[in-house]
Structure 1
Amino acid sequence: MERKTLVLVACGKELYRKYLLEQIAFEYHVWLVSTEDTTWQKPLIQGAIKISDYGFEEIVAAVDNIKRDFSVHGVICWDERFIMVTADVAGHYGLPSAGKEGIRGCRDKALSRQRLSGAGLLQPKSQLCRTLAEAQAFAAAIRFPLVVKPRGMGGSIGVALVKNPQELILRFNEADAISYQGAADFQNGAVLEEYIDGPEISVDGKIIDGDYQPMFVARKRIGLEPHFEELGHTLSYNDPLLNDQNLLSVLAAAHKAIEFKNGVTHTELKITPKGFLIIEINGRLGGDLIPWLATLAMGIAPGLIAGRIACGDPVDVVVPKKNLNAAISFKYPAFDMTVDRVTLPEPDITRDAQTYCVQLAQPGDKLALPPSGYVARAAYALTVFNDSAEGDRLCQKLLEAVTVTGSPLTDLV
């Protein structure tokens, strides 16, 4: 049978997203639409069109160009910045997508809170504040601690814990400034929320015609307070939360509330004494190589699943084909630095575990910690293991053996 053509909007970095491209290329002819030149992607794609920016008209023109020679069956994106315009492009051609309302219910954190609250789901008190004065009034009404976050950024960028009025001024201004790096629709101001304590998880799920099914759960490790940088994740093929009916009902109700139609989502939640509380829903597969952990531990191909949904092709119920656990931990620099050297330990493969490290930063790279920069990772350690607790310990031990040296940053540009 002739392969269908799937258009990928943006691609991301090789070390973080190559496996997803490999998975969809296994079954589809992929055309890449990107503002960057193709390099490592070339062996995996049918062709590429370079565009000047990720505007709706630019992407539509590129797809029209592809359609002159090929029938386009789907459009997909896993870059947080461009999922909204990609959904609009898919809708323009009548292709499966989250839908205009559904994708905005993910991307717009203020709108998402409004819809989830309207559905009666457990939510923190929150408000979109355009000015510092509005933020201060909201803080006075609900008291500290609070969480400040940009309205439309992803990956915990600009998200910070605030414990007093002085910190509020600093963190609100940081979030407001960072908002201008995102989509124009979500610039200016920040979302303020009451802080809810509890362990964090993420759930990647698939939605077909509004019907939600979880695929995998990851247990998250957070650090670098007052910011919420993601330090690592652990994923188990048989996590009991996959069969927790309370969690599943919350997830199904949330996706119905935001009117998400077709696609994959990465939902972040906290486990609280009152139940599962959704932090945010992202209209894409998870980052931080979480879907790769699912591939290693469960033997599934999340990228291919996302591609099949984008093309309207049948997708089986997600059932693990492997019975393993996987963990990943990220190495951050000790201070804002220009990297001189990253040294990795030797790989360790035993009868029960496979562990390895990957270098992410090269000599000369600038790594800045929040609030100067975000996701400033020098390397990661990854473990595949039979016993998740032992695998976590081994992963952390490996990460501690990574060394990062450099000189203090004097210029963050």
Structure 2
Amino acid sequence: MTRADGRGGAARDLPVLAVVYGRGAATPLGILDTARGRCTVVFLGDLGDPLVAADLAPVSRSTRVVDTHGLTEGQLCALVVGLEPDGVVTFSDSSLRATAVVAKACGLPFHEPYTADVLVDKFRQREALASAGVQSTACRLIRSAGDLAPALAATGLPAVIKPRAGCSSTDTCRVDSAEELAARYEEFTEGVAEPRAYVLEEYLVGDPSAVGDFWGDYVSVESVTREGDTRTAGVTGKLPTAYPFRETGLFVPAELPEDLVEQVVRLERRALRALGVREGVTHTEIKFTPEGPRVIEVNGRIGGGISDIMKRSSGVDLLAHAVEAALGAFDPPEPVLGLDGPDRRVAFQYLVSPPSDACVPGGVELLDDLYDIPGVDLVDVAVDPGWRADWRAGTEWMLGTVYGSAPGFAELRITLKAVQDRMGAFWSEVEGRQRPARRSRTDPAG
């Protein structure tokens, strides 16, 4: 289809993709690189948010950026309908609901509004999974301090408190007593005029014997769905989390026996059906427990870092699949479930995150010798002298990423163990420091 270029310029033949932008799993430059030759991108973002504005500033001279600050849902729909896009997509949890409503108004494929709601609402997601018979996980809403005791009576101890809508493990931790729960809730809501809702849910006890002590006791399943046809793109392995649930690393493919791969994929498919997922890319976290694999949560977008490691491992471009699916195309990805394909390697990201809040980073020069480790390709770390750890910010508070790959899992373990050992000299403990001030975030829900 040929149409105006969106700036009043010459006509073009490439389809138009409207990207509702918020902080998430794909950068503007990464999206534009993927879109090259496939489509013309129009970004829609709240430029009243300084983080969104900073992200979109580098692309605004060559790509149309539309400010959505202050727009109602209806105004946003009218604006996007006027663009006559061929596809609508987002890579941000905070934008899922708005994107679903916009896509429906345009008659374009994306999550249905109901599905978007349950994907971002941890309480409703647990309800939907239980109602469909997929998994019953004790979960209760917390709107005020008065809800704490009844919620704890339902979940038992240990339990996990987290925002009802949030991401990156922000304000998320395990609690082992009623006193600790009350203290954490007070900390999360201190000084907030209108505290957001939280959920308290039963703690899923891990089973490290499923994958071995060196690896994390959970994985994620990446899938692409078009018109209800779900295809697995891969299963991502994880490193053990840092306190309390900060992600420390991920790799593709996961080191799992075939029967365990089948179990987690089967569970993920049941979860997607229960939540009504019929379009788009999903990222489903699953934990290994003594009772078998159990769903941690389903996310309605690409997982952070997943597209990079999948592409470096096997050449599968998950971001490209997301863009093409949004435009109505469906070329199912070749699943990355092992190392049996040509030229496949185990690609990893090691996230530079402090082992505890008592730690401060050393100088960047202490990271230079990471390049001496076989398998390390890039050390992308920026150290601010004033930086201090804050476990409440979850994965958002990491300093950077170490990228690399290995020909097999034994070599991967050696590489990562060497990285972990050398990182021991990077962190030092500081006693008695004050808790850092909370930083503002793009996603008001998390």
Per the normalisation by structure 1, the TM-score is 0.84
Which residue is 1:380 aligned to? 401
SS of the aligned residue for 2:397 comes to coil
- Could you tell me which residue of structure 1 aligns to residue 282 of structure 2? 265
Is it true that 1:157 corresponds to 2:170 in the alignment?
yes
Structure 2 match to 1:345: 368
- 1:242: how far off? 9.2
User: In the alignment, is the contact (CA less than 8 A) between 1:338 and 1:409 conserved in 2?
Assistant: no
Query: In the superposition, relative to structure 1, how do residues 367 and 33 fare at CA in structure 2: closer, same or farther (>3 Å)?
Result: farther
The equivalent of 2:21 in structure 1 is 10
Give the corresponding residue for 2:442.
Answer: none
The structure 2 residue matched to 1:329, chosen from 345, 350, 356, is 350
Residue by residue over 1:137-191, the C-alpha shift from the partner in whole angstroms, topping out at 9 and shown as x without a partner, is: 232344311111110001111111011111111223345569x79xx9xx63321
1:192 equivalent to 2:209? Answer no
AA of the residue aligned to 2:316: I
Task: After TM superposition, list the pairs within 5 Å mapping 1:22-33 onto structure 2.
Answer: 22-33=33-44
Which has the higher mean CA deviation after the structures are superposed, 393-402 or 73-82?
393-402
Q: Specify the alignment match of 1:101 in structure 2.
A: 114
Q: Distance between the aligned counterparts of 1:22 and 1:297, measured in 2?
A: 19
What percentage of aligned pairs have identical amino acids? 22
- Between the aligned partners of 1:191 and 1:11, the Cα distance in structure 2 is 24
CA distance, structure 2, for counterparts of residue 348 and residue 41 of structure 1: 32
* Residue number in structure 1 paired with 2:8: none
2:230 to 212, 234, 253: 212
Q: Secondary structure at the match of 1:72?
A: coil
1:404 and 1:244, CA in 2 relative to 1: closer, same or farther beyond 3 A? closer
d(CA) in 2 for partners of 1:143 and 1:190?
A: 16
CA offsets 1:119-146 (integer angstroms, 9 cap, x no match): 1113322212323332212323443111
Q: 1:240 to 1:293 in 2, by over 3 A?
A: farther
Counterparts in 2 of 1:176 and 1:291: CA distance versus 1, 3 Å? farther
Q: Is contact 2:353-2:395 (8 Å) kept? A: no
1:110 alignment partner, one of 118, 123, 131: 123
Residue 314, structure 1, aligned to residue 333, structure 2: no
Give yes or no for the alignment of 1:301 onto 2:326: no
- Mark the runs of 5 or more structure 1 residues left unpaired by the alignment: none
Code of the residue aligned with 1:8 in structure 2: it is V
CA shift at 1:112, angstroms?
Answer: 0.5
One-letter amino acid matched to 2:437: L
Contact 2:240–2:248, Cα closer than 8 Å, also in 1: yes
| Alignment CA distance shift 1:23-1:15 (3 Å) | closer
- The change in CA–CA distance for 1:319 and 1:122 in structure 2 (over 3 A counts) is closer
| 2:293 match: secondary structure | strand
Could you tell me which of 291, 295, 313 is aligned with 1:274? 291
CA drift of 1:76 comes to 1.0
Residue 13 of structure 1 and its aligned partner are, at CA, apart by: 7.9
Distance 1:213 1:14 in 2: 20
Report 1:34-53 matches (<5 A). 34=45, 35=47, 36=53, 38-41=56-59, 46-53=63-70
Q: 1:364 to 1:3 in 2, by over 3 A?
A: farther
In the superposition, relative to structure 1, how do residues 224 and 399 fare at CA in structure 2: closer, same or farther (>3 Å)?
closer
Alpha carbons of structure 1 residues 409 and 130: separation in structure 2 relative to 1, 3 Å: closer
Of 241, 256, 260, which residue of structure 2 is paired with 1:223? 241
SS of the equivalent of 1:40 reads: helix
- Alignment partner of 2:266 out of 232, 240, 249: 249
Are the aligned partners of 1:6 and 1:73 in contact in 2 as well (CA < 8 Å)? yes
More strand by share: 1
Alpha-carbon shift at residue 110 of structure 1 (Å): 0.5
Distance in structure 1 (CA, Å) of the matches to 2:86 and 2:190: 39
Distance 2:270 2:24 in 1: 33
RMSD: 3.3
User: Does structure 1 residue 87 correspond to structure 2 residue 110?
Assistant: no
User: For residues 129 and 352 of structure 2, what CA distance do their matches in structure 1 show?
Assistant: 35
How many Å apart are 1:363 and its aligned residue?
3.0
Q: Is the 8 A contact 1:130 1:190 kept in 2?
A: yes
Does the C-alpha gap of structure 1 residues 40 and 404 become closer, same or farther in structure 2, counting only changes over 3 Å?
Answer: farther
Aligned residues: 399
Number of the residue aligned with 1:412: 437
User: 1:331 Cα deviation (Å)?
Assistant: 1.5
Question: Structure 1 residues 276, 17: closer, same or farther in 2, change over 3 A?
Answer: farther
Residues of 2 paired with 1:28 and 1:240: CA distance? 39
CA contact (8 A) 2:141 2:197 kept: yes
The 1:260–1:40 alpha-carbon spacing in structure 2 relative to 1, beyond 3 Å, is same
- Shifted more, 151-160 versus 386-395: the winner is 386-395
CA distance in 2, matches of 1:411, 1:231: 21
Query: Aligned partners of 2:65, 2:323: CA distance in 1, in Å?
Result: 17
Code of the aligned partner of 2:364: V
d(CA) in 2 for partners of 1:26, 1:396 = 41
Give me the whole-angstrom Cα distance separating, in 1, the residues matched to 2:421 and 2:76.
44
Gaps of 5+ in 2: 2-12, 48-52, 207-216, 337-341, 439-446
